[in-house]
Amino acid sequence: MNHFLDIHKTDASDLRQMINEAKRIKTARKGQPKGTPDAEQPLANHMVALIFEKPSTRTRVSFDVGVRQMGGQTMVLSGSDMQLGHGETIADTARVLSRYVDMIMIRTFEESTLLEMAEHASVPVINGLTNRTHPCQIMADILTYEEHHGSIKGKKVVWLGDGNNVVASLIHAAGQFGFDITISAPETLQPEAGFVAWAREKGVRVNLETNPQKAVEGADLVVTDTWVSMHDSQTTKERRHNQLRAYQVDDALMAHAKSDALFMHCLPAHRGEEVTSSVMDGPQSVIWDEAENRLHAQKAVMRWCLGK
C-alpha cells in the first residue's frame, strides 16, 4: 500500500511507471462511451472516499468516474458535513474511515490535515490539493505534454504568475522528470524557497526571472494559473491583480516561446485575467486534453496506491 502525497515524496521510477501506465490506460479505452467499464477492473469490490473541504469540478468528477470505470464504488463527502477536525481529530476520522473504505482522496486546506490523515489511515491516502501542492494535476500535465511532444526530459517549462500550490508540484516534477523550469512571478509571490532548493539539488535548472518576456524566451511549455487561489483571502484580490497584471499570458507573450510551444492551465481559469481567451482557445492550448488527462493519470495513481 502506498500513499500518494506529493511528487517529491514519490520515487522517480514509480512516477515514470505511472505516466506510462496512464498512457496505456488511456489508449485502451479510446472512443468508448464514458460509462463503459475498463477492460481491466482493478478496483472491483473497492470503496473509495472522496473528501472535499474546498470546491472542485475536475478533481471530483475525474476521481469519481475513474473509480467507477475501474470497477470500484465512490462516496463523495463534503468536509463541512463531517466531524473532520472539529467533531474529532483528523487521526480518529482516518482510523474510522479505514474500517469502511479501501482508499481515501482528500482535498483540504492545511497540508497537516493530509499528513495526519495519511499517518493514521491504514488505507492509501491521495492528495487532491492542499494549500501547498497539487500533485495529481501535475501528473496529468506531464501526461499531456508527453502525448503531444514526447519526453519532457530536458525541456524548458515556464510558469507565469502566482508562486502557488500548482507550481510547487511542477517544481517537484522538474526534479523527478528532469526538465528545466523558469518561474516568472513578482518578488512577493515567489514559490517556496525550499522547493526550489530541492529541485536544484536534483540537478535541474530552476530559474527565477521576474521579467515575463525574458522568462518565456525559448519555452517548450508555458503554464499559468489563477492569481487568487481558494485558500487566499479575497481581500488580497485587488492587490494581487495589480501585482500580477504584467504576467498575463497573451498572444504577444506566447510569441516569445518556441513556435510549437504548448500552453497549459489547470483550470478553472479567469479569462482576461491570468490568460486571454485568444491563448486559451488558440492552437497552442492543450487545456481540454489536460483536464481529460486527470482521469487517466489518476487511474494510474490509484492502481499504484493499491499495488495493482
Choose, by CB under 6 A, the member of 7, 166, 170, 300 that binds ligand NVA: 166
What DSSP string describes 63-76? HHHHHHHTT-EEEE
Decide which of ligand NVA, ligand CP, none touches 57; Cβ closer than 5 to 8 Å per partner kind.
Answer: ligand CP
Pick what 165 binds: ligand NVA, ligand CP, none; C-beta below 5 to 8 Å, kind-dependent.
Answer: ligand NVA
- Closest to ligand CP by CB, 141 or 220: 141
b/e map of 135-158 (b: 16 or more CB within 10 Å)?
Answer: bbbbbbbbbbbbbeeeebeebbbb
Residue in this structure with the C-alpha cell 489508449, named with its chain if needed? 27
Nearer to ligand NVA, 253 or 266 (CB): 266
User: DSSP code of 133?
Assistant: -
The C-alpha cell at 228 is: 487568487
Query: Taking contact as CB under 6 A, which single stretch among the options 36-44, 86-94, 170-178, 223-231 is the one that binds ligand NVA?
Result: 223-231
Choice between 93 and 226, CB closer to ligand NVA:
226
Helical H segments across the chain, by residue range: 12-28, 58-69, 90-100, 111-120, 135-149, 165-177, 193-201, 212-216, 237-244, 251-254, 277-280, 287-305
Smaller CB separation from ligand CP, 26 or 265: 265
Binding mask 53-92 for ligand CP (x = CB under 6 A): ---xxxx---------------------------------
User: Can you tell me which of 12, 76, 267, 269 binds ligand CP, judged by CB under 6 A?
Assistant: 267
Cα 72 from Cα 18, distance rounded (Å) = 19
Burial environment of residue 22 by CB neighbours within 10 A (0 to 12, 13 to 18, 19 or more): buried
d(CA 204, CA 179): 6
Per CB under 6 A, the segment of 117-125, 161-169, 173-181, 254-262 that binds ligand NVA is: 161-169
Q: Which residues contact 156 (CB under 8 A, 6 or more apart)?
A: 179, 180, 181, 182, 218, 219, 220, 221
| 285 in contact with ligand CP (CB under 6 A) | no
The CA distances from residue 155 to 158, 221, 247, in Å, are 10, 8, 21
Spatial distance between the Cα atoms of 37 and 249, rounded to a whole number of angstroms: 39
Which of 189, 230, 246, 269 touches ligand NVA by CB under 6 A?
230
Residue of the chain from 101, 262, 266, 297 that contacts ligand NVA (CB under 6 A): 266
Task: Choose between 138 and 306: whose C-beta lies nearer to ligand NVA.
Answer: 138
Measure the CA–CA gap between 201 and 217, rounded to whole angstroms. Answer: 24
Total residues contacting ligand NVA (rule CB under 6 A)?
9
Q: Which does 69 bind (CB under 5 to 8 A by kind): ligand CP, ligand NVA, none?
A: none
Residue choice 137, 165, 276, 284 for contact with ligand CP (CB under 6 A): 137
For the segment 143-202, give every residue that binds ligand CP (CB under 6 A): none
Catalytic positions? 107, 134, 137, 225, 266, 294
Binding stretches for ligand CP (CB under 6 A): 56-59, 129, 137, 266-268
Kindly list the residues in this chain that would bind ligand NVA in the complex (CB under 6 A).
Answer: 129, 164-166, 225-226, 229-230, 266
